[in-house]
Chains A and B, each alone.
Chain A
Amino acid sequence: MTRNRRLAATTTATGMALLYLPLLAVVVLSLNQSRLGLHWGGFTLNWYARAWKNPAVLHALTNTLLLAAASTAAATVLGTALAIGIARYPWPRWTQATFSLLVHLPVVTPDIIFAAALLVVFRLLREMTGLFNLGMGTMIIAHVTFQIAFVALVVRARLATIEPEIEEAARDLYATNSDVLRKILLPLLAPGIVAGALLAFTLSLDDFVISFFTSGPESATLPIYIFSSLKRGLSPEIHAVSTVIFLVTAILAVAMQLLSRSD
């Protein structure tokens, strides 16, 4: 048994190294004074200050947050309504199955296929209507599309834990449909909706491929900015920006875990 335990512990250490070594390298080098080369030249926060003053970084940051906030807001509303509309009404089995397939599609499709499909549709729509030029608009549409599915899945799971008796009791007390929705269902669903929204927000921050395919020249997000900077050569400012993104996602991940534990 001790041999097994040792194996488990050493493998876990290896796994953690595989997961955290690259992140550690980024964080450490963001605090490194020397600009060129990878040797340690002393501690500094200078790169954070410089990144903060870099207009391209700020523009990308604004885009990233705008994209994540706008798409999360839209996807949370649409996804929650979708989950309620599917789960709370007596749909025949095949309709349920179709809904389920539709909702699982973005979860399991490799994102590059999804990105390609959206790019094609935007191109055709552009040729037909003259709208849908690649940019923030198309990126928001793309993000909402995959976020809806995740929000719907999280909310649906929460919905399954709410017993119908609670709604029955409310109706016995003469609650109207909108009362039931506003005063019973939505408050009870709130943790699920918040968890879904957080997940959607994280997924938006986490996404690169779909943004990369559907972005225009003016709508680069931080990951796209970092990716294209890498093609030009590394700069410590990029380390600083990346460290900030990493810390923000870490906080979001912890928040999600705390939320799911309180259920």
Chain B
Amino acid sequence: MPDRLVSHGQLVTRRRLLWRGAATSSPGVLWLLVFLAIPCLLLLALAFASRGSYGQIIWSPTWRNFRKLAGYGVFGWSADYLWILARTVWLALLTTILCILLAYPIAFFVARRSPRWRNFWLVLLMIPFCTNLVIRTYGWQLVFSILSPNLYPGAIAVIIGMVSSNLSFAVLPLYTSVERIDWSIVDAAEDLYASRWSVFRHGILPQTRPGLVVAVIVTFIPALGTFVVPDLLGGSKTMLIGNLIQQQFGASRDFPFGAALSFTLMLATLIALGIYQRRAGEAGLV
């Protein structure tokens, strides 16, 4: 019987093993199919449906939602939605850049502690990350009301809130990279009178690039989809795609347009993820 094999100390056939594996994993797989994969596909289909006058869904394929997103409405063309998209990408980029600028020195700081203290600092970074975002954001409302009421609500408040909510995401992957740095390369660069920037550019950056890429992606993706922070800290001028999506599924009851917006957001996420997939393996973080 060529089909027989020894797996984990038992003599079985491949077929029987697969049956058993399927039986073990099927409840979880089925659950993920029904409540994850199919809903995502439905959302995709819904993006090409349209809203009836009572909020019902009309399932005939149309580009209407995407035309609306591009600004073509009943009252002619307006750039409102495109502005929201542009603002979302811009704020997400800015948040990511600020987070990385802060995260690099923090990662170095933590990596240079003794193992005991390293854990202490990591926990300190983890705690806010695990605390509910609504609480942290309304905490910012309080801080701004006390320290500088003129900043809130506004774009600066939103940016500070977003940096604060994503900072831990950026530090943790960078830290895992920084911890593994071969310092002899950095020392060699310093011995050869490299400037601080050159040391970073040629000695540190190449070694930490995998962690950096992961940090950028895991900061950028949640920043793109954020909804709580601009809702609580911003005004109508800081509306982002997350708020717009929430509006469609909430007050406006325009599910198809909401789906089209989600689809657009998903597309942006997938592009970011494409880069992640290629780099994360190198970082050993998958």
**Chain A interface (Cβ < 8 Å from any Cβ of B):** 1, 3-5, 7-12, 14-16, 18-26, 29, 38, 78-79, 81-82, 84-86, 88-91, 99, 102-106, 108-114, 116-121, 123-124, 141-142, 144-145, 148-149, 152, 164, 167-172, 177, 180, 202, 205-209, 213, 222-223, 226-227, 230, 234, 238, 242, 245-246, 249-250, 252-254, 256-257, 261
Q: How far in angstroms is the closest Cβ of chain B from A63?
A: 14
Decide: B249 and A25 in contact? CB cutoff 8 A: no
Decide: B18 and A112 in contact? CB cutoff 8 A: no
| A113 to B41 CA separation, bound complex (whole angstroms) | 12
With A16-B124, A18-B164 as given contacts, are A121 and B39 in contact (CB-CB < 8 Å)? yes
B139 interfacial contact with A, CB 8 Å: yes
Q: For residues 109 through 144 of chain B, which have their beta carbon under 8 Å from a beta carbon of chain A?
A: 109-110, 112, 119, 121-143
Query: A208: which B residues are within 8 A, CB to CB?
Result: 132-134, 228
Decide: A145 and B35 in contact? CB cutoff 8 A: yes
B168 interfacial contact with A, CB 8 Å: yes
Query: A91: which B residues are within 8 A, CB to CB?
Result: 18, 21
Q: How far in angstroms is the closest Cβ of chain A from B11?
A: 9
Given contacts A4-B108, A15-B103, 15 further A-B contacts (CB under 8 A): A11-B109, A18-B167, A78-B31, A109-B266, A110-B266, A113-B266, A116-B258, A117-B39, A152-B28, A206-B131, A213-B246, A223-B132, A242-B132, A257-B126, A261-B119
B265 interfacial contact with A, CB 8 Å: yes
B213 interfacial contact with A, CB 8 Å: no
B255 interfacial contact with A, CB 8 Å: yes
Decide: A8 and B25 in contact? CB cutoff 8 A: no
Q: How far in angstroms is the closest Cβ of chain A from B215?
A: 13
B153 interfacial contact with A, CB 8 Å: no
> How many residues from B make CB contacts under 8 Å with A?
94
Q: How far in angstroms is the closest Cβ of chain A from B13?
A: 11
Chain A interface, DSSP helix/strand/loop, else mixed: helix
Partner of B249, one of A14, A106, A119: A119
Decide: A21 and B139 in contact? CB cutoff 8 A: yes
Q: List 22 A-B contacts (CB under 8 A).
A: A11-B104, A19-B164, A20-B128, A23-B128, A38-B146, A84-B24, A84-B25, A85-B22, A85-B29, A103-B32, A109-B266, A113-B43, A113-B265, A117-B40, A167-B8, A168-B9, A177-B20, A208-B133, A230-B141, A234-B138, A250-B130, A252-B130
B237 interfacial contact with A, CB 8 Å: no
| A223 to B24 CA separation, bound complex (whole angstroms) | 35
B221 interfacial contact with A, CB 8 Å: yes
Residue ID in chain A nearest B5 by CB atoms: A90
Query: A119: which B residues are within 8 A, CB to CB?
Result: 249
Query: A245: which B residues are within 8 A, CB to CB?
Result: 131-132, 135
Partner of A102, one of B17, B37, B221, B246: B37
Decide: A105 and B40 in contact? CB cutoff 8 A: yes
Decide: A116 and B8 in contact? CB cutoff 8 A: no
| A112 to B245 CA separation, bound complex (whole angstroms) | 8
B150 interfacial contact with A, CB 8 Å: no
Decide: B160 and A18 in contact? CB cutoff 8 A: yes
Decide: B135 and A226 in contact? CB cutoff 8 A: yes
Partner of B262, one of A112, A121, A223: A112
| A245 to B127 CA separation, bound complex (whole angstroms) | 12
Q: How far in angstroms is the closest Cβ of chain B from A215?
A: 12
| A7 to B167 CA separation, bound complex (whole angstroms) | 17
B154 interfacial contact with A, CB 8 Å: no
B89 interfacial contact with A, CB 8 Å: no
Q: How far in angstroms is the closest Cβ of chain B from A34?
A: 13
Partner of A113, one of B38, B105, B262: B262
Query: B103: which A residues are within 8 A, CB to CB?
Result: 15
| A149 to B28 CA separation, bound complex (whole angstroms) | 9
Residue ID in chain A nearest B224 by CB atoms: A110
Decide: A253 and B126 in contact? CB cutoff 8 A: yes
Proximity bits, B25-69, A CB within 8 Å = 1, else 0: 111110111011111101100100000000000000000000000
| A85 to B134 CA separation, bound complex (whole angstroms) | 37
| A10 to B28 CA separation, bound complex (whole angstroms) | 46
Query: B139: which A residues are within 8 A, CB to CB?
Result: 21-26, 242
Residue ID in chain A nearest B43 by CB atoms: A117
